[in-house]
A and B are shown apart, each in its own frame.
Chain A
Amino acid sequence: MARNRTSSAGSLKVGDHVTSKLPAFNWRGVIVEDLGPLGIDGSEIFVIRVGDEDDGRRFNARAESLERVAA
Chain B
Amino acid sequence: MASKSLMDWRSDAAAAFDEIENAHKAVGGSKPGRRFLTQQLNYAYTMLLAARFQGFARALHAQTADAIALGAHDANYAELLYGSLTNNTTLERNNAHPNSIADDFARFGLDIWADVDRERSRNDERRKKLWALVTWRNAIAHDDIDAKLKRGALEPLTISLATCRGWRSALNILATSLDKVAADRCQALGLSRPW
Contact surface of A with B, Cβ cutoff 8 Å:
20, 22, 24-25, 35-40, 43, 45, 47, 57-62, 65
Q: Give the residues in chain A near B83, CB-CB below 8 Å.
A: 59-61
Residues on B lying within 8 angstroms of A by beta carbon are 4-5, 58-59, 62-63, 65-67, 70, 75-76, 79-80, 82-84, 86-89, 92, 194
CB neighbours (8 Å) of B65 from chain A are 60
**Cβ A65 vs Cβ B75 within 8 A:** yes
Chain A residues, Cβ within 8 Å of B58: 35
Counting chain B CB atoms within 10 Å of each CB, which of A39, A45, A60, A62 scores highest? A60
Q: Is the interface of A mostly helix, strand, loop or mixed?
A: strand
Give A47 to B194 CA distance when docked, in angstroms. 21
Does B79 lie within 8 Å of A61, measured CB to CB?
A: yes
Once the chains bind, are B66 and A45 in contact (CB under 8 Å)?
A: yes
A67 to chain B, nearest CB (A): 12
Contact A62 B75 (CB under 8 A): no
Across-interface contacts of B67 in A (CB, < 8 A): 40
Residue from A22, A37, A40, A59 in contact with B76 in the complex, judged by beta carbons closer than 8 Å: A22
